[in-house]
Homo-oligomer: A and B are copies of this chain.
C-alpha cells in the first residue's frame, strides 16, 4: 500500500489476491514552471503565439503586423467573387443602417448626423483591425439607449454643446476600456455576464425603447388624413418585413424595407406638405463628412470622471454584444475569432471614432444577420457600407429633411423587437431555473426601474451564481452498483447499495477557503444522519468514512485544515478517515502538509473499490 509510486503488478478482480494499484506521486513541479503554466492557462489559453514558433525574425515581424491588422492577411487572397458577395451585402446593410442611424442617434439624444458619422469611420477602422468576417459595425439600439440615459443624468440634452462633449468623452473611454481589456487579455471578464442575464437585459431594453418610440408615434394620431399615409406606410413596411422573414430567399426585403419606407414617406410628406399640418419631421441633417472632435473631449475636470464612468459601462456592454456576435458567426462558419484581439480592434475603433465625431459603435445583431444572409465574405462589406454612408453624408442628407419621425420610430421598433428572444427565455426556463431568475431579474429591472439598475441586477445575479457554485459545492453518498466495482450516487442510482459499516462520501469540488468549512460540516452531517438511521434500524455502526476525491481538483491551506479537523472529529467517534483517488495536485499538498503522515499513507487509495476492499474485506464481494 506504498504510495510513493512504482511498478504496478497485475490486478485481476476474479483473483482473491487483490493487489491494489499504487497511487502515483508525480514529480514535484518547480515553482516557476507552475506559475508559468497557470499564467498561460489564464491569459493565453488559446495559444496565440503558436504561429510564431520556429520562424525567422522577418517572418515574425510580418506575422506580428498581420496579427494587429488582419486585413494584411486576408487581403492577399481577395478576389472578384468575394467582392461580389461583399458588395451586395454592403449595399444591403447600408440601406438598413441609414434610417436606423438617424433613429438611434435620437435614442442617444444626439442630432441625427452623428448616427451617420458613427457608421462611417468605425466600420472602416474595424475592417483593418477586426477578425470577424460577418459582423456589421455601427450604432446599436441598446448602447444608444444606455448612453442616452446615462448622459442625460449628468447633463441636460438641451445643453447641446456640453452634452456632445460628454458623449465624445464617454466614447473615448469606452474605447480605452475595450482596448485595455483586450491588450491585457482580460477578455474572460466579459464571460462573467451570464448569457441568461443578457437575454433578459436585451429584452427589457427592447421593450423600453419600443414604448418610448410608440409615444412618439401615437402623438400624431390626431391628424387622420396624414396618419393614413403614415399608417399605410407602416403596414406596408411591416408586411414587407414579415413577408421577407417567411421566405429566406427574400431576406433582402426586410433589409431594404426601412429605406423604401423612408423614401416613400419622405416623398409623401414633401408632396402633401404634411409637416405644416403637424407631422413631426427630422427637419435638418448637417451635410458633410465627420468633423474632427479631438478638442471636444474632456481631458480634465469633473466631466472627465463622469465620462470615464459612463464610458466604462457603455464600453463593456458594447463589447458583450460584439463578442457574442463574433463568436456566433465564427461557430457557424467554422473559423476562429480571438476574443482579445477583437476587443483591441473594437477599442481602437471607438477611440478613433471619439476623435471624429462618432459615438459608441459596436456590432449590431440585426445588421450582422442581414450581412450574413446577404452573402458577405469578409469585412469589405463594412467598407462598402462606409462608402455608401459617405455618399449619403456628402450628397443625400438634405433629402431626409421631410422624413417623418414616425417612420423612424417604426423602424427602430421593428429593429429592437428582434432583440426579444422568447425562444431563448423558454430554453433557459427548461434548463436552469436559477438562470431564469437571473433573466427575469434583469428584464424587470430594466423595464420597471431603469437601464442601469437592470444592468446592475444582471451583474449581481451573475456573481451570486458564481458565489453559490463556489461556496456550496455538491456532495453525494455513494453506493456500489450490484455485480460491478463501480460506486455511484445513491440518489441517482437507486439500485446502488451502501456498504455496511462504511460511509462513502464524494466531494464534487476543489476544497478552498471559500467552502472548506461547509464541506467539513456537510460530511459530518451526512455521518450524523446515517448514524441516526442505523441506530433506528439496529444496524452496525459506521467504522470507516471514505472520501472520494476525484472531483477535488485542488486544495489549499484552509482545505487541509478542514481535513485535519474532520480527521480529529472522526477519531473521537472511533471512525477511520480514508481517502480515495486524490488527484495529482492534491497528493502533492497532502504530503507537503504532512497530512498524509497524519492519516497514515496506507489510508490513501486509488479507487473506492480498493479502499472498501481494504477496510472491510469480509463484507465486500466482487
Contact = CB atoms under 8 A, between A and B. Distances in A.
Interface stretch (A9-17, A161-169, A248-256): A9-17
A550 B510 CA distance: 14
A491 interface: yes
A583 B551 CA distance: 12
Contact of A558 (B8, B195, B510, B522): B195
A542 interface: no
Contacts of A31: 433
B583 A489 contact: yes
A209 B124 CA distance: 60
Contacts of A583: 489, 492, 508
A334 interface: yes
B592 A431 contact: yes
Contact of A196 (B193, B517, B553, B556): B556
Interface stretch (A265-273, A347-355, A369-377, A465-473): A465-473
Given A13-B13, A466-B512, A557-B432, A26 B483 contact: no
Interface stretch (A91-99, A441-449, A565-573): A565-573
A327 B592 contact: no
A45 B522 contact: yes
Interface stretch (A34-42, A358-366, A401-409): A34-42
A483 B20 CA distance: 12
Nearest to A520: B331
B557 A195 contact: yes
A484 interface: yes
Chain A interface residue number, banded: 35 or more
B466 A470 contact: yes
B557 A431 contact: yes
A188 B484 contact: no
A513 B514 CA distance: 20
A556 B513 CA distance: 25
B495 A8 contact: yes
A239 to B, nearest CB: 33
B24 A492 contact: yes
A486 B551 contact: no
Nearest to A194: B513
A510 B555 CA distance: 17
A201 B513 CA distance: 16
A241 interface: no
Interface in A427-463: 427-428, 430-435, 462
Contacts of A35: 433
A134 interface: no
Interface in A230-281: none
A481 B21 contact: yes
Contact of A34 (B47, B191, B339, B433): B433
Given A469-B470, A514-B192, A8 B481 contact: yes
A194 B492 contact: no
Contacts of A560: 431
A555 B194 CA distance: 13
B427 A471 contact: no
Looking at A462, A472, A492, the one whose CB has the most chain B CB atoms below 10 A away is A492
A52 B428 CA distance: 38
Given A46-B521, A518-B45, A568 B24 contact: no
Interface in A478-506: 481-484, 486, 489, 491-495
A105 interface: no
A42 B472 contact: yes
A426 to B, nearest CB: 11
A514 B466 contact: yes
B194 A556 contact: yes
A561 interface: yes
Contacts of A24: 492-495
- For A331, A430, A514, the residue with the greatest tally of chain B CB atoms inside 10 Å of its CB is A514
A14 B15 CA distance: 11
Given A525-B46, A592-B431, A517 B327 contact: yes
B554 A551 contact: no
A21 B491 contact: no
A191 B327 contact: no
Interface in A259-308: none
A343 to B, nearest CB: 14
Contacts of A108: none
A430 B592 contact: yes
A589 interface: yes
Interface in A530-582: 550-551, 553-558, 560-561, 565, 568-569, 572
Interface of A: 8, 10-14, 21, 24, 26, 31, 34-35, 38, 41-42, 45-47, 188, 191-196, 327, 331, 334, 339, 424, 427-428, 430-435, 462, 465-466, 468-474, 481-484, 486, 489, 491-495, 508-510, 512-518, 521-522, 525, 550-551, 553-558, 560-561, 565, 568-569, 572, 583-584, 587, 589, 592-593, 606-607
8 contacts: A24-B492, A31-B433, A42-B468, A45-B525, A431-B593, A491-B584, A550-B551, A551-B553
Given A431-B592, A432-B557, 7 more contacts: A11-B483, A196-B513, A431-B556, A431-B557, A432-B556, A434-B556, A492-B583
